[in-house]
Structure 1
Amino acid sequence: MECASCEARIDHCHGTLVVHPERGFAECTDTACADPDRVRHALIVDCPAPGGCACTAAPEKSLLRRAS
């Protein structure tokens, strides 16, 4: 079963965008995310997210995709 956005062929992401306002960037939990922009994500959370956040890790060790 596909989501409505997939069926309509709308550019979107199924990951969660984690916004780091103090550090000035956002990351997506989906490693296949093509563009971590807010408009592509239905799920957006502020850092720190419940359960911990990768922003405390060194940037090169982060598992999330950074927005440019």
Structure 2
Amino acid sequence: MTCVSCRTGLDHCHGTVLLHVDGGAECTEPDCADAVLARHALVVDCDSIEGGCACEVTAERLAHAS
């Protein structure tokens, strides 16, 4: 089975983009060319992933230091 984007030849990725607190983004697919949101159907904040994200901890520390 293939997705609609695959069948139509649309440039896309099957991974999920993680949006980080510092404004960065990364894709969960190791072969993804870039984390452009338009290429991905799934986009989540990094703090919603199981186990959290190291950038979330860093942002929390910086907020408490202020």
Runs of 4+, deviation exceeding 4 Å: none
Higher RCO structure (Cα 8 Å, ≥6 apart): 1
Structure with greater Cα Rg: 2
Q: Unpaired runs of 5+ in structure 2? A: 56-66
RMSD: 1.5
When normalised by structure 2's length, the TM-score is: 0.74
**Aligned sequence identity (%):** 51
Structure with greater helix share of residues? 2
Residue 56 (structure 1) aligned with residue 15 (structure 2)? no
- Deviation, structure 1 residue 41: 0.5
Q: Unpaired runs of 5+ in structure 1? A: 58-68
Residue of structure 1 in register with 2:13 after alignment: 13
Aligned length: 55
